[in-house]
Each structure stands twice: as C-alpha cells, then as structure tokens.
C-alpha cells in the first residue's frame, strides 16, 4: 500500500503525530473501510465547487494540525444545503478556529458527504505497552464515554474475534434492533474491525486509531470521522 506509507511518512517528516482527517480517510479507504467522501478546500469558492461535486447536503470541517477535536473548536457544521451556506459556513468555521486557538495553522475546510444518521458505533485501536495493538469496539456517545461499554481484542484478530467483540458489549441488543428499529448490519462492523486490524498490523507507525463515529445501517456502514495518530 504505497499510498498509505507515503501519507504516513509525509506526515512524520513534517514532524506531525497525527494525520489530517482527509489523510486518515484515504488511509482507511485504501484498506477498504467504507468512509464518507471528502474533498479539501483552501478557499470558499473551492468549497462550493467541492460541494457541487459531492452533492448536497454536505458537512464542513476545519482542517488544522493544531485542532484534533473539531467540534470543541466550532469546527464542524452538518447539513449544509446550498452554495450560499457553504460560503457562509467556510468563513464561520475558519473564524471559530481562530477564536479557539489564535495561532492554529488552518489549512482549509474539508467538504464531506453528509451520511444519513443512524446508530453510531466506535472502532478504535490503542497500543498497550505489554500486548501491543488492541482493537476496541463500542456504541457511540454515552455508551463509550459514560458507561464504558466497550470490548477489546489484541490484534491481529480473526473473524470470530470480531464477531465476539460486537456481541459482547452490553448494548448489543440495540444493534439487533429494538422497538421496531431495523437490525444493524453486524457483518459490516465485523468487516471494518478486520480491516483496521490488517491496517495496524501492516503499519506499525500507526499509534492510535479512532473511527468516531461510524454510522451503521441496515445494509452497510460508513465512517464519518477518522482519526489516526502516528509515532516513529
């Protein structure tokens, strides 16, 4: 995967310890992880051009190596519906970023395909000093942050491991479909876990991964936020 190593090597050479979102998006896509389409815009008219290509509605996100948690910086606007709103949103996001961190190096705004909302899950990887890369799975929002309802497995994982990871969280019933909700595509989640396992095994400079959230549908799934940390 020359694409993946050149992205990671390029970032390391620049002295960065995190990939930009569009770089992480490309790395995940190279391994077959379903991701939302993205296009970087440096100017607001370029953002409009990108949005026309992707199709409305779109999501706008700040692109800065100094801002890892974009929402905290007012750096995400969802459901942007017209060229006018794209222009307005571009300016707003860049201003918000500057107000959040005056010396932030703002590289532009990412225009992203808006994915229909659905059950949100998180797929992650952290490195344990003893065990090495460990994959994590959980449901998004309070399930991970408050209830810590997550499962872990040391990589590389098998298909059976991935299936167990999904089924052993307490909130699994939600994925099976409750109160008339259709069941979520478990195989699509298993597939993402396996692909992330392969990605981290083949690229030891990857130090941490956070796909948060991944929207899971009745048929398929899509990662709308991809964060990858790297270490020489």
**Residue 122 interacting partner from Mg ion, ligand ADP, none (CB closer than 5 to 8 Å by kind):** none
Q: What is the footprint of Mg ion within residues 202-221 (CB under 5 A)?
A: 212
**Residue 195 interacting partner from Mg ion, ligand ADP, none (CB closer than 5 to 8 Å by kind):** none
**Residue 114 interacting partner from ligand ADP, Mg ion, none (CB closer than 5 to 8 Å by kind):** ligand ADP
For the CB of residue 35, give the shortest distance to Mg ion in the complex, in Å.
13
For the CB of residue 130, give the shortest distance to Mg ion in the complex, in Å.
28
Residue number with CB closer to ligand ADP (13 or 69): 69
Residues with Cβ within 8 Å of residue 142, at least 6 apart in sequence: none
Residue number with CB closer to ligand ADP (106 or 224): 224
Q: Which position has the token pair 């998004």?
A: 140
For the CB of residue 56, give the shortest distance to ligand ADP in the complex, in Å.
12
> Could you tell me if 58 and 90 are in contact, meaning their C-beta atoms sit under 8 angstroms apart?
no
For the CB of residue 150, give the shortest distance to ligand ADP in the complex, in Å.
17
Residue number with CB closer to ligand ADP (128 or 218): 218
Helix H, strand E, coil C: the string for the chain is CHHHHHHHHHHHHCCCCECCHHHHHHHHHHCCCCECCEEEECCHHHHHHHHHHHCCCEEEEEECCCCCCCHHHCCEEEEECCHHHHHHHHHHHHHHHHHHCCCCCCCEEEEEECCCCCEEEEEEEEEECCCEEEEEEEECCHHHHCCCCEEEEECCCCHHHHHHHHHHCCCHHHHHCCCCCCCCCHHHHHHHHHHHHHHHHHCCCEEEEEEEEEEECCCCEEECCEEEEECC
> Could you tell me if 108 and 124 are in contact, meaning their C-beta atoms sit under 8 angstroms apart?
no
Examine residue 161 and tell whether it contacts Mg ion (CB under 5 A). Answer: no
**Residue 112 interacting partner from ligand ADP, Mg ion, none (CB closer than 5 to 8 Å by kind):** ligand ADP
Residue number with CB closer to ligand ADP (155 or 196): 196
Q: Which positions lie near ligand ADP, rule CB under 6 A?
A: 36, 59, 61, 69-71, 76, 78, 112-115, 212-213, 224-225
For the CB of residue 6, give the shortest distance to Mg ion in the complex, in Å.
25
Residue number with CB closer to ligand ADP (22 or 155): 22
For the CB of residue 224, give the shortest distance to Mg ion in the complex, in Å.
8
Q: Which two tokens stand for residue 74?
A: 């007012």
Among 225, 228, 229, 230, interactor with Mg ion by CB under 5 A: 225
Q: Which two tokens stand for residue 90?
A: 């571009």
Residues that bind Mg ion (CB under 5 A): 212, 225
């Amino acid at each position: 995967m020359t694409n993946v190593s050149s992205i990671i090597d390029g970032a390391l050479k620049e002295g960065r310890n995190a990939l930009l979102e569009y770089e992480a998006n490309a790395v995940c896509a190279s391994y077959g992880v379903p991701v939302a389409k993205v296009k970087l815009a440096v100017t607001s008219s370029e953002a409009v051009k990108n949005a026309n290509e992707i199709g409305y509605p779109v999501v706008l996100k700040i692109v800065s190596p100094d801002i890892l948690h974009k929402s905290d910086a007012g750096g995400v606007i969802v459901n942007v519906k017209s060229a006018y709103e794209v222009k307005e949103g571009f300016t707003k996001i860049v201003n918000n970023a500057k107000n959040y961190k005056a010396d932030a190096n703002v590289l532009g705004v990412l225009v992203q395909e808006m994915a229909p909302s659905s059950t949100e899950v998180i797929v992650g990887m952290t490195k344990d000093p003893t065990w090495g890369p460990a994959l994590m799975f959980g449901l998004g929002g309070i399930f991970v942050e408050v209830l810590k309802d997550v499962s872990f497995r040391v990589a590389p994982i098998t298909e059976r491991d991935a299936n167990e990871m999904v089924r052993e969280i307490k909130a699994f019933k939600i994925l099976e479909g409750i109160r008339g909700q259709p069941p979520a595509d478990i195989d699509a989640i298993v597939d993402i876990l396996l692909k992330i396992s392969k990605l981290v095994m083949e690229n030891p400079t990857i130090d941490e991964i956070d796909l948060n959230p991944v929207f899971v549908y009745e048929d398929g799934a899509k990662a709308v936020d991809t964060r990858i940390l790297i270490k020489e």
